[in-house]
Copies of this chain bind each other. A is one copy, B any other.
């Protein structure tokens, strides 16, 4: 690691490596957000040309995926107190919180299925917790997919970076909903707009965990 991080003259241009590139990318992410993590900006930071990066990274999507896995390694594993459901919920909350710190990253996680070291470790832990809860074996794999998808999507919904404008538009639309044409929306307007995010997230996870524990996999069709 370079001892000085002054943005003045870099004393000697460090050799390019994949790890160095990813580390620099994480730096840009923390400072300026994912949308600034571009090949050109990254190259500038590393004092080289954008084309040089393509020796180590296939494309921008792969770069984002590498960043994601790096950050998955920073999730603290919650203390082993409490039952499996509690620990499961806390771990997924920690995962979501991490994604929420970096708007836009959740979208990458959703589109580019991760497959890095830290992602596998997370899956391993999740599978272990479901096993501890005596969730039938066949449902564990699909279950963690569902749980991770929910956590990721929840973070992705807040990827706006800015603009509560969409939310405003929705709030207006819900409130203006005609009681005769949209009776259900009118009746549930308050709940539809309720913003207590932690409570909602917690309920969502409990719904999933309960559902996973209680719902059998449907019979496979047409195996002849």
| A contacts, CB < 8 Å to B | 61, 65, 107, 110-116, 120-121, 123-124, 127-128, 131, 137-138, 140-142, 145-146, 149-150, 152-154, 156-157, 159-160, 163, 166-167, 169-170, 172-174, 177, 182-185, 187-188, 191-192, 194, 196, 199-200, 202-204, 206-212, 214-215, 217-218, 220-221
Contact = CB atoms under 8 A, between A and B. Distances in A.
A142 B191 contact: yes
User: Would you call the interface of chain A mostly helix, strand, loop, or mixed?
Assistant: helix
B184 A128 contact: yes
A210 B210 contact: yes
Contacts of A113: 157, 166-167, 169-170
A128 to B, nearest CB: 5
5 contacts: A110-B153, A120-B177, A142-B204, A145-B200, A203-B218
Contacts of A166: 61, 65, 112-113, 115
A220 B200 CA distance: 10
A68 B144 CA distance: 29
Nearest to A198: B221
A128 B187 CA distance: 11
